A and B are shown apart, each in its own frame.
Chain A
Amino acid sequence: DVKVTQSSRYLVKRTGEKVFLECVQDMDHENMFWYRQDPGLGLRLIYFSYDVKMKEKGDIPEGYSVSREKKERFSLILESASTNQTSMYLCASSLPPYREWGYTFGSGTRLTVV
């Protein structure tokens, strides 16, 4: 069974901390994505990656960065966490073309910044 694994289900961090959210997929997918999910706003794309060391900004990249050093791992970094980054974070991966396959999602990381 294919899997996208997010390392933490729940995280509590302090304002100003540097936060790393990790995502690993075992499907050899080229494409990986980070979304945040907030009530009433649905899913919003933060960053995505088409290949190793390749990244592109999504719709709300401010305050975030990403790293993809290996094909199977895509990390989301909050350089200096703020309370408005409290959210559910979802990682996804896909074979191209997305319009054919859709995405496979991880179970999510619920981050609280205090």
Chain B
Amino acid sequence: AQSVTQLDSHVSVSEGTPVLLRCNYSSSYSPSLFWYVQHPNKGLQLLLKYTSAATLVKGINGFEAEFKKSETSFHLTKPSAHMSDAAEYFCVVSRIYNQGGKLIFGQGTELSVKP
């Protein structure tokens, strides 16, 4: 069975410092992995996705993530946090189910950015 674990429920950084949001996955086959962001009272927006091409994936707003099969990880990083990055972030893995794949969401990591 597929699953995803976000290792931190809350991360706090100062503006201008690096961001690291950690995600481990479990999958019995080669997965697709996604990161979504949710700003307060908004829907979820796709940040980036890994679908078995390059292991280093670049997304919107300066975020990137690296797929590491040996570590079953897909951590999200950004070199320099901005106040507007404060939001909740979800790591997502695809699963195969009946007629097609569905997505499994992690429990979310809330990112706070201090001035």
Contacts and interface: CB of A to CB of B under 8 A. Distances in A.
Interface of A: 4, 9, 31, 33, 35, 40-43, 45, 48, 50, 56, 90, 92, 96-100, 102-108, 110
B32 interface: yes
A42 B105 contact: yes
Contact of A98 (B41, B44, B102): B102
Given A100-B51, A103-B44, 14 more contacts: A42-B107, A42-B108, A45-B102, A50-B99, A50-B100, A90-B44, A96-B100, A97-B101, A98-B32, A99-B94, A102-B34, A104-B46, A105-B45, A110-B41
Contacts of B102: 33, 45, 48, 98
Nearest to A33: B102
B103 A103 contact: yes
Contacts of A48: 102
B42 A108 contact: yes
Contacts of A31: 100
A108 to B, nearest CB: 5
B107 A41 contact: yes
Interface of B: 9, 31-32, 34, 36, 41-46, 49, 51, 90, 92, 94, 98-103, 105-108
A105 B43 CA distance: 6
Contact of B90 (A43, A98, A107): A43
A108 B32 contact: no
A22 to B, nearest CB: 15
Q: Which of B34, B41, B103 has the most CB of A within 10 A?
A: B103
Nearest to B107: A42
B51 A99 contact: yes
Nearest to B50: A99
B49 A102 contact: yes
A76 to B, nearest CB: 15
A100 to B, nearest CB: 6
Contacts of A105: 36, 43-45
